[in-house]
Chains A and B, each alone.
Chain A
């Protein structure tokens, strides 16, 4: 069979049920194979939409997402999703076409050095040099994408090789001598960590997206509940511990709660699990958690002591390590009463500084209220994706996620235009779940073309645009840190989102009245097929609280 037919077999063997992509000259053989390949292909309108859809699919299902593109511009259109998947550790396999081998290096039509361009932002990549290498490369790509710290893997296939005949034999093993992620944590270190917890007077568990990736939410929850440990999650970790909960401090970091950030500041022991001490968490590094000792659990050894030196480093998968940590900790039988003083301190912050905003007295929709209304309209049960900006932070603050894989956003790269295609991917992967996107009016325009894809496939995503007419987060920074000198942030009333929706064959709605908002949202959700809702919110509202960039947690404002 042709190498591309073998490719279809490999995808099926990997359990792939759907892929996202857009064809072109260099991957015509692949697209020919799709005709009878037995794999569902969703034709996107821009490769970036396909890439983010594959990410959304992966994040919602826990399976590997797959995106296809042709050579040159098709491949370069994938750069943003590839980089996004790298930053947020999302398992996606990207398969690109390449010019014929005889044209490689000649600046042939639609030739781009895809391997070279993507090298800094992939977990690994394969350039196919012999057609018979393809099946093994595909399986290795899936293996690498899925295991250890997940991430994007790219396979670049020259057109002539993809149509070459090969003797296909199913591949049942991978041979990657240089790739052996460590899963089990060191038992001695785990015991040491348990002892540290037992001695700690002011512990905090700082949980990140690694918990979600490792499917370790249950283990985390059990460990947190094995004593009265306070827990906070990063933007990527929301849902790893069910919110709300008495032991849950809310999100930490730049727009986290004061309780979470102050607890980190005063903690004597911080246990980071699947988190990487990003600058949006630490603020000013030299003043970050000055009194704390650190336990750092991560499957990627390079994250440990990268930004903050760890006292007890544990390399391993969060699921394994937390399960063992629980056993060790229980056996010690520490006295929960030692945490009384700590809790009364935390409760003090909670009472004094709850997440709050001044609500409107009339029909005006405050953006925070919009998120609360969506929470109510969905019963808190939706998968929620978001774009990047103020709406993203309000969604993270005001929508409580009871489970992992319910909150899907672009954290590390902060990619505007992520939300809508990611929602599409999530909805394709989880057809029985309600999938909503809290979009920014600026962000949504960066991948709005995928509304056509949703309309064509009747993918029933409900997109709620938090329309403030601004690139709001940038406006906020200009207001707060640049003397209110607004520069290129006002987008006016363009486009007319209802008409845009209709042009795409999607139901469009406009909501402007707070008093009926919940019911109107329920109506949108009950409408069949994809729906785009233009929610008009207060134009100039700031996201608070906030640790100004580069400052310490104590410097929180708002």
Chain B
């Protein structure tokens, strides 16, 4: 910065407040945490007491066994993401947080759909599964189980398609996400 001080004037009018505004979109936060007991409780508790909703949350190991990754999605229309990440940073066991840029991120979720499939509908159902690159992993007389992987949008689209057949059960893992290119997430 060199010598202190500058005579260049500043008009207070020019100053803009740091935007505390809602971004209006979904955010995928990729959080590296120390693999210690209670860490997930600390994160979940923080969200609960500050009134932030978690849309999806996944936890899993990383290439380093001392470190786990939590991927969670939060609605930036409802919550100030800036405040959410700052509060998360205050947790001593949180090592790093990345608010993943949608365009630079590969995000995937896995879902299992148990769909009623008595007789005639079965063929049509199989066709839809194929279009979505779904895999039929179990077939019985009355139901099929289809596995679908993809972005949340794709999974939601598939869900809409199979619902009319009679959706008996659905399970979703929540998203995991990784940044594109060479750089670390």
Contact = CB atoms under 8 A, between A and B. Distances in A.
Interface residues of B, number: 36
Contacts of A129: 37
A191 B18 contact: no
Contact of A195 (B6, B86, B94): B6
A330 B57 CA distance: 51
B161 interface: no
A117 to B, nearest CB: 11
Contacts of B11: 199
Given A310-B17, A311-B17, A313-B18, A191 B6 contact: yes
B115 to A, nearest CB: 40
A178 B94 contact: yes
Contact of A178 (B9, B15, B20, B34): B34
Given A191-B1, A332-B7, A268 B12 contact: yes
Given A178-B93, A195-B9, A199-B11, A327 B4 contact: yes
Interface string B75-89: 000000011001101
Contacts of A300: 90
A413 to B, nearest CB: 15
Nearest to B1: A187
B6 A311 contact: no
Contacts of B82: 305
B90 A195 contact: no
B130 to A, nearest CB: 46
Contacts of A311: 15-18
Interface stretch (A42-50, A119-127, A422-430): A119-127
Interface in B15-34: 15-20, 33-34
Contact of B95 (A119, A178, A312, A328): A178
A556 B44 CA distance: 40
Contacts of A127: 37-38
B42 A119 contact: yes
Name the interface size band of chain A.
35 or more
A331 B3 contact: yes
Contact of B92 (A115, A179, A199): A179
A116 interface: yes
Contact of B12 (A116, A123, A194, A196): A196
B166 interface: no
A337 B89 CA distance: 44
A328 B15 contact: no
Contacts of A116: 41
Contacts of B7: 332
A463 to B, nearest CB: 35
A89 to B, nearest CB: 12
A251 B42 CA distance: 36
Interface string A306-327: 1001111100000000000001
A293 B89 contact: no
B10 A195 contact: yes
B141 interface: no
A268 B15 CA distance: 11
A309 B20 contact: yes
Nearest to A203: B12
B131 interface: no
Contacts of B3: 331
A120 B48 CA distance: 10
A537 interface: no
B120 interface: no
A35 interface: no
Nearest to B66: A177
B61 interface: no
Given A119-B42, A176-B92, A178-B91, A328 B4 contact: yes
Contacts of A511: none
B102 interface: no
B64 to A, nearest CB: 12
Contacts of A144: 92
A269 interface: yes
B171 interface: no
A300 B20 CA distance: 16
Given A115-B38, A199-B10, A188 B1 contact: yes
Contacts of B16: 311
A302 interface: yes
A177 B95 contact: yes
A123, A196, A305 pick with most chain B CB within 10 angstroms: A305
A198 interface: yes
A33 to B, nearest CB: 26
A192 B1 contact: no
Contacts of A177: 34, 95
Given A176-B92, A178-B93, A198 B10 contact: yes
14 contacts: A119-B38, A119-B42, A187-B1, A191-B5, A195-B8, A196-B10, A196-B12, A198-B9, A198-B10, A200-B12, A269-B12, A293-B12, A301-B86, A327-B5
Given A191-B1, A301-B86, 20 more contacts: A115-B38, A119-B45, A124-B92, A127-B37, A178-B34, A178-B94, A191-B4, A192-B10, A194-B5, A199-B10, A199-B12, A293-B15, A294-B17, A301-B89, A302-B83, A305-B82, A309-B20, A328-B5, A330-B4, A332-B7
Interface of A: 115-116, 119-120, 123-124, 127, 129, 144, 176-179, 187-188, 191-192, 194-196, 198-200, 268-269, 293-294, 300-302, 304-306, 309-313, 327-328, 330-333
